Structure 1
Amino acid sequence: MRVHLSAVGRLPGRSEERALVDDYVSRFAAASKPLGWRFGGEHEVDDRKGGGPAGEAELLRKGLPKGGLVVCMDERGATLSSPDLAEKLRGWADTGRPDVSFVIGGADGLARDFVAEADFSLSLGAMVWPHKLVRVMMAEQLYRAATILTGSPYHRA
């Protein structure tokens, strides 16, 4: 299974957020090999026409792998523990779908119809987070999920 991050906005090449995402993605790539998973890449979009969440949704849809599972990051989504997310990923891998994309909206969130079309909606809790930090947090959670499933001591619960 290939795991993707799809997000509104671009992380600057020399930003702290870019460095953290790159670090966790690299760790995920190594930790997930025994699971047969790999990082499928990041897809960043900018809505230069000012279409808001609806315009961003159209750009995001174009970058999603065909036939892949879509997980929208949404404050109204399900809240999972890290072990529960790991099990959810294992279950998605077992379905045989080749890709899962975690989709992160911009400052105004994701369009409601886009979220409704998704296979799953995931929340990082009741607080609202900046989309740049959500990308860092999801990259870390993907790495954590892989270490949980492979028995690495990274996750201490």
Structure 2
Amino acid sequence: MRVHICAVGRLRKGPEKALLDDYLTRFDRTGRALGLGPANVIEVEDRKGGGMAAEANLLRRAIPQGAVTLALDERGKPMTSPDFATRLADWRDQGRGDLALLIGGADGLDPSLRDEADALLSFGAMVWPHMLVRVMLSEQLYRAATILAGTPYHRV
């Protein structure tokens, strides 16, 4: 199952970009044997200032046809790392070829896009910077792959 992180905004060189790249490389290496990956980042940017609705339209265009969509949103369901791993494995085992993980801009995701998503995920009650969420999500993808592979990275 190919993984697409569809995010609003451009992540420039810096520590967040280095961490994102590192975790996605780890995910690709570990996930390949499990039928997960590769992972890629699709960045969209609303240069015309159309707000959340315009960002939602750009994100919709970035989602591969037939992909299962998981939107990151503070109103979503918090999951443990093992639950997240199980969810990924379930989608993979159902034959879903693509997973699109949606990250909104500074104002979040447009309500219409949230409503269209197959599932909503929250990283807790706190609001996180949307650029940092990419790093956190990539780490959780790697962690999920290690859980499914039975490696000791994730400790309970």
Runs of 4+, deviation exceeding 6 Å? none
Q: Tell me the residue number matched to 1:8.
A: 8
Question: What amino acid maps onto 1:113 in structure 2?
Answer: S
Partners of 2:54 and 2:95 lie apart in 1 by 31
Larger displacement relative to structure 2 (82-91 or 36-45): 36-45
Residue 44 of structure 1 is matched in structure 2 by: 43
* Stretches of structure 2 lacking an aligned partner (at least 5 in a row): none
Please name the residue that 1:112 is paired with: 111
Determine the C-alpha separation between the residues in 2 that align with 1:71 and 1:51.
23
In structure 2, C-alpha distance between the alignment counterparts of 1:95 and 1:68, rounded to whole Å: 12
Deviation at 1:40, TM superposition (A): 3.7
Stretches of structure 1 that go unaligned for 5 or more consecutive residues are none
- The equivalent residue for 1:153 is 152
Could you tell me which amino acid in structure 2 is paired with residue 9 of structure 1? Answer: G
Give how far 1:138 is off: 0.1
Equivalent position of 1:136 in the other structure: 135
Displacement after TM superposition at 1:34 (Å): 1.7
Match of 1:66 in 2: 65
Deviation at 1:131, TM superposition (A): 0.3
SS at match of 2:11: coil
Q: Which residue of 2 aligns with 1:81?
A: 80
Q: Name the residue aligned to 2:98.
A: 99
1:85 aligns to what SS in structure 2? helix
Residue 35 of structure 1, CA deviation: 0.6
After TM superposition, the score normalised by the length of structure 2 is: 0.98
Q: How far does the alpha carbon of each residue in 1:127-148 deviate from its partner, in whole angstroms, 9 at most, with x for none?
A: 0000011000000000000000
Contact 2:69 2:117 survives alignment (8 Å): yes
- Give the equivalent residue in structure 2 for 1:28: 27
